[in-house]
Structure 1
Amino acid sequence: MADGEQIDMARSQVFGEAADLYDRGRPGYADALVTEVLEYAALDGRPALEIGAGTGKATALLAARGTELECVEPDPRMAAVLRRNTAAHPGVRVRVCTFEEWDPEGRRFGLVLAATCWHWLDPDRRRDGVHAALVPGGAVALCWNPQGVRDPRLHAALAEVDRRHGLDDTPHGVLASHYGELPGDWVGLPGWPEDELRRDGRFTDLRTRRFREELHYGTDRYLAHLASLSRYRILPADRREQALSDTARVLDAHGGGITMGHLSDLLLARAR
């Protein structure tokens, strides 16, 4: 295994260490995105499959619309929070395993959703697994929620903290103005999979959408968000705490928080 692959594997396995922080600090998805997904999928009572459901940021929104969901989440600590967050929705079933290990038990689904996790899946197997899980004409929805800092002065001050601690690709590492106009036009984020699906003849009717919001985080919530991220989780504890403490001082000096331009980028496709 190459060094880069080892780092990616390490990052993919650390979220559960901070499952409650992840749930409290991570941004969610726009309600309009969920509406778009459900209108496109036209489930008509068919169940949906969610890959890498985490603590249920997207799950809870779908379940609240009456969607029956099978959720695959590899980390038992994340799955415990997911069960808690969806306890009011009896149509949600949680399976603790990777998507590659998951057994569909002969079932097929009207929708497969992967919210900010497609890049963690095995690139040689993920399209096969998704296509096999879908009914003919079933929908796949892939989405991410990148963010960018509104204030250039705050961005510059936080960049200095990141440089001091050897951090890269942090949520405040990009100015909101640096994002392009099209879905997937990102800076420093995992690759947008539109070309990947377009080259695969088993998927058709590709559509993309972008939803925009503005989010303000108080200092404590933003630190919880950072502390849940893999690039912080893999740091030694003392280095992580110092980086977060230095970040807090910058935020408090700039009014006690940070305002982010928040995007929800969506890619839709159908199984032929």
Structure 2
Amino acid sequence: MTGPEHVDMARAQVFGEVAEVYDAARPGYADALVADVLAYAELGGRTALEVGAGTGKATVPFAELGTPLVCVEPDPRMAALLRRNTARFPGVRVHVGGFEEWHPGGRRFGLLLAAASWHWVDPGRRWDLAHAALAPGGAVALFWNPQGVRDPGVHAALAEVDACHGMSGTPHGEPASSYGDEAGNWAGLPGWPEEECRRDGRFTDVRGVRHRQELRYDTERYLGYLASLSRYRVLSPDRREAVLADTARVLEAHGGGIAMEHFSDLFLARVR
């Protein structure tokens, strides 16, 4: 995950093309992370707001614990899967549209959460929008799933594939050893929101929490995961097919998959 300084709308709007693949291949979020968010937010029955809910990878574990949610998702194809995945939860409501155009309508929420989506929100407005949506003392929970390759040989071989095809910022672009111990240490990648949030000045009690686990993908699932990413979606079909085919050859030569160190990095803050 990278956090661009401006929002590339061409990339932000491609996920719906492969909504089913996205839903099947993307990793979810650690149960411990969900528990951390709810303990911090102390909702007490208040409703949470989810920004860029996608197909519900984060929505479902919160809903399973009884959290009522309003989910804002800009892509109607993703929102259709989100509705399907949350149909059994009467407390989940879905709004199709961008967070920048959505209005709380006088409501104030106890929690705003964004799972690997905050970097797609307009950087010039996102903290204003969050502040306007939250009740006094309301919590912000932003989280991502950065990953690092555990096997240095696999990492080196995939780096050659990426260099050959001019790819950068891929999930296998960093070895697991390059990550530090603290949340937000993403091997030099930008995007961790702490500095931006502190600079805003309207939020306090800032925290970072990291959970980690080993995650192994077989070749088919990993290719599906890559195919769901914006940096692969914006490639021409021929170029995307070539990159994925060369990636598959590396994985098949190394046991038919890839072992990743999977981090769940959580940023927490609350309205003063």
TM-score w.r.t. the length of structure 2 is 0.96
Aligned residue in 2 for 1:69: 69
Aligned residue in 1 for 2:170: 170
Aligned residue in 2 for 1:29: 29
How far residue 180 of structure 1 moved from its aligned partner, in angstroms, is 1.1
Note closer, same or farther for the CA distance 1:192–1:57 as it changes in structure 2 (3 Å cut): same
Q: Which moved more, 1:79-88 or 1:257-266?
A: 79-88
Q: Deviations over 1:182-238 (max 9, x none)?
A: 110113644111011112221011111000111000100000000000110000001
How far residue 245 of structure 1 moved from its aligned partner, in angstroms, is 1.0
C-alpha distance in 2 between matches for 1:7 and 1:164: 27
C-alpha distance in 2 between matches for 1:37 and 1:5: 26
C-alpha distance in 2 between matches for 1:111 and 1:184: 21
2:102 counterpart letter in structure 1: W
1:146-165 equivalences under 5 Å are 146-165=146-165
Q: Does structure 1 retain, via aligned residues, the 8 Å contact 2:52–2:114?
A: yes
Aligned residue in 2 for 1:266: 266
Identity of aligned residues (%): 70
1:115 counterpart letter in structure 2: A
Q: Does structure 1 retain, via aligned residues, the 8 Å contact 2:7–2:119?
A: no
3-state DSSP class of the match of 1:173? coil
Please report the RMSD computed on the Cα atoms of aligned residues, expressed in angstroms: 1.3
Q: Does structure 2 retain, via aligned residues, the 8 Å contact 1:169–1:188?
A: no
How far residue 117 of structure 1 moved from its aligned partner, in angstroms, is 1.1
Q: Does structure 2 retain, via aligned residues, the 8 Å contact 1:111–1:134?
A: yes
1:35-184 equivalences under 5 Å are 35-184=35-184
Aligned residue in 2 for 1:208: 208
3-state DSSP class of the match of 2:8? helix
1:249 counterpart letter in structure 2: R
Once superposed, which parts of structure 1, at least 4 consecutive aligned residues long, lie more than 4 Å away? 4-7
1:248 counterpart letter in structure 2: A
Matched residue count: 269
1:94 counterpart letter in structure 2: V
C-alpha distance in 2 between matches for 1:15 and 1:268: 26
1:181 counterpart letter in structure 2: D
